[in-house]
Amino acid sequence: MKALVYLLFLLMLILHQDSWAWDDQTLVLGFMPIGLAYHAAFSIGCAILGALAIKYVWPHDLEKLAEEE
């Protein structure tokens, strides 16, 4: 699962370069240009990735080290 989270991070970096929607003017919900809606959804994706990282890649050993003494 750890590896999957790292892979998802790399995938997000690639997905950020959305060259396919560069000139599309479609308005999502009648007001939001699709290029902006895509990146707003990307921000939500970042939050989900953050939650996955916390669940599967949390540095428990480091946390223990800091709480010692």
DSSP secondary structure of 14-65: HHH--GGGSS--PEETTTEEHHHHHHHHHHHHHHHHHHHHHHHS--HHHHHH
Give min distance, CB of 2 to another protein, in A. 13
Are 8 and 52 within 8 A, CB to CB?
Answer: yes
Are 12 and 49 within 8 A, CB to CB?
Answer: yes
> Which residues contribute to the site for another protein (CB under 8 A)?
9, 12-13, 16-19, 22-25, 27, 29-33, 35-36, 39-40, 42-44, 46-47, 49-51, 53-54, 57, 59, 61-63, 65-69
Task: Using the minimum distance from each CB to another protein, give the nearer residue, 1 or 31.
Answer: 31
Give min distance, CB of 22 to another protein, in A. 5
Give min distance, CB of 7 to another protein, in A. 14
